[in-house]
Amino acid sequence: MDLAKHCIVEPGSKLRLKDRDADDTFGKKRDDDGHQKTLDRLRELQHLLYADKRYALLIVLQALDAGGKDGTIRHVMSGVNPQGCDVTSFKAPSPQELSHDYLWRVHKAVPSRSMIGIFNRSHYEDVLIARVHNLVPKEVWKKRYGQINDFEQMLTESGITILKFFLHISRDEQRKRFEARIRDSSRNWKLSLPDFEERQHWDDYTEAYEAALRKCSTDHAPWYIIPANKKWFRNHVVAKLIVQALDRMKLKYPAPTVDISKVVLD
């Protein structure tokens, strides 16, 4: 099954999120053995990426609250070597970050060659929350789509592959997940009043996401809309697409720095 074809936002295409079923599994049945093989392959490829040192992989995760960003990172990256993987969670900008352009803090977190970098939220917040809550004037955030595209093209031309995943959940699924957090005392710490308040802006966020996904899905850095109501399928698709991206890099181990034939061990 070509998961990329099912999930990709084709550059220049029209998009309505209500046409994408958050419960969809594209006819796939759950296969824990097959998924584990994918995770094993991901671990192998990450080791190869780390040794190769020519390229980097940047994974951008965006979702509405309770969309599963943390769970995706925790599950999909469970077997990789922490030395080769960095996770950056973008919160409200600090005073220092606000004194720079909005991409300054993002560029600092871009992975170096040989690394996998994961953005839990990202520079796209500056055309999402900034738009919904009028944090900057419309004439400012409207220019950011083009700026983001130029920024991402520069990164790809520097050897960084960018995978952008929008974890798509329904409004009803979000409510169920909030209710589960309320019932589970071990997850109460994840509750936040602003999260509940943001539900009032569901339609505004949908409109903002549709614009970002449509305007910033490019040939060099396309967006993938991942049906995320079913966590097992979300994890399966994200892992598969990461493995496919790493495979396309044609990674290889570098030549040894010593003549192995002359190595003598006592």
263 pLDDT band, cuts 50/70/90, is: confident
User: In 3-state terms, what secondary structure has residue 15?
Assistant: coil
- Mind listing the pLDDT tens digit for each residue in 214-255? 999 999 999 999 999 999 999 999 999 999 999 999 999 998
Give the model's pLDDT for residue 191.
78
User: In 3-state terms, what secondary structure has residue 16?
Assistant: coil
pLDDT mean across residues, the chain:
95
- Mind listing the pLDDT tens digit for each residue in 129-150? 999 999 999 999 999 999 999 9
CB 239 within 8 A of CB 38: yes
Q: What is the CATH number of the domain that holds 162?
A: 3.40.50.300
Residue 191 tokens read as 């509750």
- Mind listing the pLDDT tens digit for each residue in 146-173? 999 999 999 999 999 999 999 999 999 9
Give the structural domain span for 11.
Answer: 3-262
- Mind listing the pLDDT tens digit for each residue in 27-61? 999 999 999 999 999 999 999 999 999 999 999 99
CA distance 14 to 213: 10
The percentage of the chain sitting over the pLDDT mark of 70, rounded to a whole number, equals 100
CA distance 232 to 223: 20
Domains of the chain: total? 1
CA distance 46 to 116: 8
